[in-house]
Structure 1
Amino acid sequence: MTRRDDSRLVPLRLHRRARTAAVAAVCAVLFMAGCAPRSVRDGAGPATSSSVVPTGTSVHRLHVGGLERTYRLYVPPGLPTGTPVPLVVMLHGGFGSADQAEQTYGWDGEADRHAFAVAYPDGLDRAWAVGGGCCGRPSVRGVDDVAFISAVVADIEHRRPVDARRIYATGVSNGGLMAYRLACDTRLFAAIGPDSATLLGPCPKPAPLSVLHIHGTADHNIPYQGGRGEGPAHIDGPAVPAVVARWRTADHCTAPASRTSGTVTQLTATCPHGRAVELITLSGAGHQWPGSAPRTAVQRLLGMDAPSSALNATDTFWSFFAAHPAPSAP
């Protein structure tokens, strides 16, 4: 394999020993920050064969593609047990984890306020295979992460009622890339919410769904205007506006309307069947999840910039998701 290939397939371009040390450092910082993996929260524990889902966070294991995979599921206290509820799948970034995503991006609190469940899948070796030679060990091994995340949704549906018209996927960086891959290869989701991401690999038939993409103009890892990034994985993808325009075409949307307030520009297109495609651009913002709590050491080790305070991405994504369920079946 050439050196260039290695730079695409190994996110931090580190040899094995350095990469292991980096992961250990991330874990150590997360532990010191109070983000160590938890098997019990609010009375919840690791999943068993029972279909009962406890309140709080529980850890579940699946065998997909010959691999044991894990995901975390957060169920707010008081969520009706017999009523189908919305489900948000939150996908961590490269070198992140399900536990880190749960602690960092505020989705549990959002679920408490708005009565939905949140799934946090774990990428193999802290990465997702999204196509285009990215990323890390999953790409090298040909891991089918689309099958894994689809299995996560099916497993949750087996355990408790989920509203099939209100299943959403969001993610940051490598996780945002994975959200686009799910929109290319499945018809499971009513909407996706990629942050600091782009589209890699083939996508001949994009799913007709609602899309909200958030991106900073100063993102050097995944450049807003496309091309090879300076980040650890050296992502080389199309310009963000072109990616979003692709879904406007797929959804047969109207011409987008633009609105700017301070450093935030919203480009919104309405589409048939109640769908919408929106791009929120943050002038001067880098590679980050807007509105998340600043954790300088963790952000540096994960290759993230300081979060923008121009908006709260979690609130913004949920408001968009809640307003855009999948159309009713004809």
Structure 2
Amino acid sequence: MYRSLGRAPRAMVVLTVVIWSLVTACAGSGTDSTAAGPVRAATGRSVPPAAPDTAASAVPVGRSTRTIDSGGVRRTVHLYRPAGLTTAVPLVVMLHGGYGGGTQAETAYGWDAQADRGRFVAAFPDGTDASWNAGGGCCGPAARNGVDDVAFLERMVAALRRDLDVDPNRIYLSGLSNGGAMAYRMACETDLFAAVGVDATTMLVDCATATPTSVLHIHGTADQTIPYLGGPGRPYSAKSPPIDGPPVPSVNATWRGTDRCSPPTTTTTGTVTTATATCPAGRAVKLITIAGAGHGWPGATPNPLAERLLHTDRPSTALDATDVIWRFFAAHRK
């Protein structure tokens, strides 16, 4: 069942995003939402598990929300569908960072406008208590409670394919920080996606048996939360251990090996260095390094309060990550 959302004034949207982020961050110490039976909302009110999914009518134009039952727990996905789409549409799934949420990522990073330009449907699922179980102890309540986010995201994609004419060769996955690590986990453990585009993240799972996939990684050299050169970073909070991943160039090299790519070609313009490796079957593996950039989504609108709540740095202006990632997606399919 889908519920359409009306358009609010921009100031109200920003206020809602900030309040939502604060509420979800504070809710991080709540009950284990992976348990079978009632889910406890932030208000303390018990919410019964959702009934099994049933095919619904076409996803409405504009913003809408849908709940999906995964392992007996009701999960939420926010959607944006541009007007005028017909058949075989691309699908882009965006995974928010730690302490964020689906609507926060949708609003802050400009994905709706990009969907209008690129003619694709965008999905923004919510993690559990604003976190994803991305492997390696990352991150937050989702990792501590062993949430099966792989199964949830697989179920979400299957549900959207039932309700929309999605081109199975043009399903893409993006993510920031904790959400980016979850995107890598999906790429390592499933074969759903034609390409993955991540920012300010690392890979925390064994990826030895991954299906070849086009990969784009954007990262700042001054990122202290997930350091470019690897090792433990700045912890999100006292309850969350630091993310301790491999160096970003090593992650990129792993995917070049998986995709059997040629050695990369490197170019530098200003503070941006791009290493692009071409691979069989039209795939590519690309690493974009931004000198001096911190932990955040390049091109996002600066918002000091939201950055403090989401534990991110002032966004780099060197590029628009949403546009760069979509153009990479548009150039690659299965």
TM range, normalised to the smaller chain?
Answer: 0.7 to 0.9
CA 1:282–1:104 in structure 2 vs 1: closer, same or farther (change >3 Å)?
A: same
1:74 to 76, 80, 83: 80
1:33 corresponding residue in structure 2: 15
CA RMSD between the two structures: 1.6
2:276 corresponding residue in structure 1: 268
1:61 corresponding residue in structure 2: 67
Deviations 1:87-142 (A, max 9, x none): 00000000101111111111110000111000000001000001111111111221
Q: Look up the SS of the partner of 1:51 in the other structure.
A: coil
1:295 to 297, 300, 303: 303
1:222 to 209, 220, 226: 226
5 Å matches for 1:249-260?
A: 249-260=257-268
Q: Look up the SS of the partner of 2:223 in the other structure.
A: coil
2:117 corresponding residue in structure 1: 113
1:244 to 249, 252, 255: 252
2:58 corresponding residue in structure 1: 52
Query: Which amino acid in the other structure matches residue 141 of structure 1?
Result: N
5 Å matches for 1:1-330?
A: 33-35=15-17, 50-80=56-86, 83-232=87-236, 233=240, 234-326=242-334
Q: Look up the SS of the partner of 2:129 in the other structure.
A: helix
Quote how far apart the aligned CAs of 1:305 are. Answer: 0.3
Deviations 1:236-283 (A, max 9, x none): 000000001000000000000100000000000000000000000000
Q: Is the 8 A contact 1:231 1:303 kept in 2?
A: no
Quote how far apart the aligned CAs of 1:30 are. Answer: 8.6
CA distance in 2, matches of 1:147, 1:72: 18
Q: Is the 8 A contact 2:55 2:159 kept in 1?
A: no
Q: Look up the SS of the partner of 1:168 in the other structure.
A: strand
Q: Is the 8 A contact 1:176 1:197 kept in 2?
A: yes
Query: Which amino acid in the other structure matches residue 250 of structure 2?
Result: A
Q: Look up the SS of the partner of 1:151 in the other structure.
A: helix
Q: Is the 8 A contact 2:194 2:213 kept in 1?
A: yes
CA distance in 1, matches of 2:14, 2:59: 29
Quote how far apart the aligned CAs of 1:49 are. Answer: 5.7
| Percent of aligned pairs with the same amino acid | 55
CA distance in 2, matches of 1:184, 1:168: 14
Q: Is the 8 A contact 1:213 1:280 kept in 2?
A: yes
CA 1:264–1:154 in structure 2 vs 1: closer, same or farther (change >3 Å)?
A: same
Query: Which amino acid in the other structure matches residue 60 of structure 2?
Result: P
Q: Look up the SS of the partner of 2:117 in the other structure.
A: helix
Quote how far apart the aligned CAs of 1:201 are. Answer: 2.5
CA distance in 2, matches of 1:93, 1:249: 27
1:11 corresponding residue in structure 2: none
CA distance in 1, matches of 2:206, 2:16: 39
CA distance in 2, matches of 1:309, 1:295: 13
Deviations 1:152-204 (A, max 9, x none): 11111111100101000001010100110001110000000110000013223
Q: What TM-score comes out, normalization by structure 1 length?
A: 0.84
CA distance in 2, matches of 1:154, 1:251: 25
Quote how far apart the aligned CAs of 1:32 are. Answer: 5.6
5+ unaligned residues in a row in structure 2: which ranges? Answer: 1-10, 21-52
Query: Which amino acid in the other structure matches residue 276 of structure 1?
Result: A
Q: What TM-score comes out, normalization by structure 2 length?
A: 0.83
Query: Which amino acid in the other structure matches residue 33 of structure 1?
Result: L
Quote how far apart the aligned CAs of 1:300 are. Answer: 1.2
CA distance in 1, matches of 2:182, 2:331: 22
CA distance in 2, matches of 1:110, 1:312: 11
Quote how far apart the aligned CAs of 1:205 are. Answer: 1.0
CA 1:190–1:32 in structure 2 vs 1: closer, same or farther (change >3 Å)?
A: closer
CA distance in 1, matches of 2:276, 2:58: 40
Q: Is the 8 A contact 1:30 1:100 kept in 2?
A: no
Q: Is the 8 A contact 2:98 2:131 kept in 1?
A: yes
Quote how far apart the aligned CAs of 1:50 are. Answer: 2.5
Q: Is the 8 A contact 2:78 2:102 kept in 1?
A: yes
Deviates more, 1:263-272 or 1:138-147: 138-147
5+ unaligned residues in a row in structure 1: which ranges? Answer: 1-28, 38-46
Query: Which amino acid in the other structure matches residue 325 of structure 1?
Result: R
Q: Look up the SS of the partner of 1:304 in the other structure.
A: coil
